[in-house]
Amino acid sequence: MMGRTIHRRSLVVPLIGIMLLFLGAGCGNALSRLGLGPEPTATPPPTATPTPRPTATPTPVATLLVPTRPSEGNGLGIPAEPNAPFTVTMTDDELNEYLAEREFSQSGVQVSDVEVTITADEMIVNLFATQAESGLSGEVTVRGVPQVVDGQVYFLVGDVTLGESIRGFGRLLAQAAIDQALRQYAEEDGIPVPVEEAEIQEIALEPGAITVTGVTR
């Protein structure tokens, strides 16, 4: 059935999304704490309600990263049936073709010009990020490794490098925001990447491609 079709993009793109997620989710809070964010607005007293208020602890969910252009195209599916084993490979050219000319928005941070390079040892993501409220913008390079630990997919961030256009005090602030986000979202094995469509068993990297092995739910 078409409704059950799982596209390769839906399995691989969240790995990219989670990298962008921690950059966006942490910037607003960190910049605000450093005194560069907008002044906090007064919060009205909560109205009486039997429903408890949600906790303030954020949950890193890749689907929070929203592309400003819709996905299009099909034909990249894997088995539509539940409990079906699969192995799919997606090249960095395919990923970059999908990401080309798309922009992403998360927690006040706009991300564009995303380019992925896959080696045998890591994934390298170059992007341009803008935090409108603080006026900070520039190139960012994220390096890391996707991995599966006890059935959970993680992205273990190895390094985050800011471009030369981010200088001076703004560079210190941007780095503080990134470090804050990493502390907020990362666990021992990396940043959790939720994948609802399938149970991922293995993720393997090779020069120019990523291979995902698992079973459909």
Structure tokens at 144: 């890391």
Tokens matching residue 26: 């942490």
**Which pLDDT value is given to residue 51?**
55
Per the DSSP assignment, residues forming a β-bridge with 153 are: 148, 193
| Cβ(82)–Cβ(213) below 8 Å | no
Query: Which pLDDT value is given to residue 129?
Result: 85
Give CA–CA dist 8/89, Å, rounded. Answer: 8
Pick the closest to residue 15 from 141, 144, 106 (CA basis).
144
Token code pair at residue 117: 């390079």
The neighbouring-strand residues paired with 76 are: none
pTM, two decimal places: 0.73
Find the DSSP H helices in the chain: 8-33, 92-99, 168-185
Burial level of 202, CB count in 10 A (0-12/13-18/19+)?
exposed
Residue 167, both tokens: 């200088």
Q: Model confidence over 64-99: pLDDT tens digits?
A: 343 444 333 323 356 778 899 988 888 999 889 888
Higher pLDDT, 64 or 198: 198
Query: At 179, which amino acid appears?
Result: D
Instruction: Tell me: pLDDT of 3 over 50.
Output: no
**b vs e for 157-191, b when ≥16 Cβ sit within 10 Å of the residue's Cβ?**
beebebbeebeeebbebbebbbebbeebbbeeebb
